[in-house]
Amino acid sequence: ASTPRASGRAGIRAICFDLFTLFDPRSVVDAAKAVVGDQAAPLCELWRTRQFEYCWLRASAGIYTDFRQVTRDALDYATQARGLTLTEQARESLIDAYSRLEPWPDTHAHLAVWRAAGLRLAPLANYSPSMLEALIDHAGLSSSFDALISTDAARTFKPDPRAYALGPATLGLARHQIAFSAFGGWDAAGAKWFGFHTFWVNRLNVPREALAPGYDATGPTLAELAEFVGV
């Protein structure tokens, strides 16, 4: 982890989160095991990769469909590539698993501390509104946030600047008053380019992206993010 500088944190009044800094995306693998057995891990890895690639392609081309449809399309590709056939019920069950992710062990406690400290909190996610609401409700975190921000409102996906702009617009703050908690290195780069104070929560210890400047600081858990925002 890099040590964040005290300078640059002054004036932060809110945190916007990529969902996977709060929820473990690997939870989907457990759901997939009940459907495809030993194929679950490779299927889900390919599925998630295509999921993000389809978001980026659609944002770049300006051809929008919501995240649930993107998730379905990516699953269709992944199952075909792995030589699998799913019933419609199985497909819906796997897609719904993205709305039943398990929170990381430190999620509830840190959200409570930040909320008590007066920071405004909001996920800023590619999830469709219905998926986002279902996920937060399932985790019992509805009272933890000031807003649930879906990029669907801008009909695009991160890292399109219009997606990040929903944070300041929804919270009524300037971008320099918001810290962004990124799970992916690409998202950290996009948020930093937009103008957020950006912390990369590198939960899975993956290499940094060669996308300068990338982020202000990084660490493996929300404890380091708490140090970064000073709470």
* Bridge partner residues of 149 (DSSP): 124
Catalytic annotation present for 18: yes
The catalytically annotated residue of 18, 152, 187, 216 is: 18
What six digits make up the tokens of 180? 């962004």
Strand 102-103 relative to strand 23-24, pairing: antiparallel
d(CA 56, CA 158): 8
d(CA 107, CA 176): 24
Residue 9: the pLDDT is: 60
| AA letter at 228 | F
Q: How far apart are the first and last CA of the chain?
A: 18
What six digits make up the tokens of 136? 């937060």
Question: What burial letters (b/e) apply to 84-112, b meaning 16+ CB within 10 Å?
Answer: eebeeebbebbbebbbbbebbeebeebbe
Q: Determine the angle formed by the axes of helices 88-97 and 27-36, rounding to 10 degrees.
A: 160
Residue 230: the pLDDT is: 94
d(CA 166, CA 24): 24
Residue 6: the pLDDT is: 39
DSSP 46: H
**Could you list the pLDDT tens digit for every one of the 231 residues in the chain?**
444 443 346 699 999 999 999 999 999 999 999 999 999 999 999 999 999 999 999 999 999 999 999 999 999 999 999 999 999 999 999 999 999 999 999 999 999 999 999 999 999 999 999 999 999 999 999 999 999 999 999 999 999 999 999 999 999 999 999 999 999 999 999 999 999 999 999 999 999 999 999 999 999 999 999 999 999
d(CA 23, CA 80): 27
* Bridge partner residues of 23 (DSSP): 103
